[in-house]
Amino acid sequence: MWIGHYASAFIAKTIAPGIPLSVLALSSSAADALFFLLNFAGLESFNLDQSIVARSGCFPYTNDYPYSHSLAGMGVAGALVALDVKLTPHDDVAAGAGWFDSPATDSLWFYTRFAPKAQFCFTAAPTQEARWVHAPLFLSMILGSSYLLGKLES
């Protein structure tokens, strides 16, 4: 399902070979990962649509994601990440809040390295509960496939 996202990660790998493929894969699907996190918070939603299930659709859900997939939302997310980026290649000081040196990002690193490996299912999950069942499954697929793509390098 996320082949279009990961294609950009493979293309970016040729331009920036020093960045791990797992990081590129995770960043290429960041909008979807953010969507599932906002889904947990109840700010965005997706619901199983039986009419799409009846047609054997690949992703049988209707989505409402005004923040994670909007131009403004992606601009804000990009600006927040850019707060902790070195301004010049040889600069020793990073601008921003130092997010990438925090215990939270260490936990994210640990989780992306040891997340359970999940297989993608092209049909609906056996429940109507999208928020607490489907969202964690799809988020774990994003994290798991990013991890596995990173393992391709080693």
Measure the CA–CA gap between 2 and 98, rounded to whole angstroms: 30
pTM for the predicted model, two decimal places: 0.65
The total number of structural domains in the chain stands at: 1
Domain span including residue 28? 3-153
Would you give the end-to-end CA distance of the chain in angstroms?
A: 24
Residue 149: per-residue pLDDT: 85
Split at pLDDT 50, 70, 90, the class of 127 is low
Q: How much of the chain, in percent, has pLDDT values that exceed 70?
A: 66
Q: Where are the beta strands (DSSP E) in the chain?
A: 45-48, 61-64
Q: Is 16 helix (H, G, I), strand (E, B) or coil?
A: coil
Residue 116 has pLDDT above 50, yes or no: no
Q: What is the pLDDT of residues 72-102, one digit of tens each?
A: 988 888 787 777 666 566 766 655 545 455 5
Nearest to 53 by CA among 3, 130, 122, 1: 122
Q: What is the pLDDT of residues 36-55, one digit of tens each?
A: 889 888 899 888 788 877 87
Measure the CA–CA gap between 69 and 23, rounded to whole angstroms: 20
DSSP 86: B
Sole residue written with tokens 């409402």: 64
98-123 per-residue burial string, b: 16 or more CB within 10 A, e: under 16:
eeeeeeeeeeeeeebeebeebeeeee
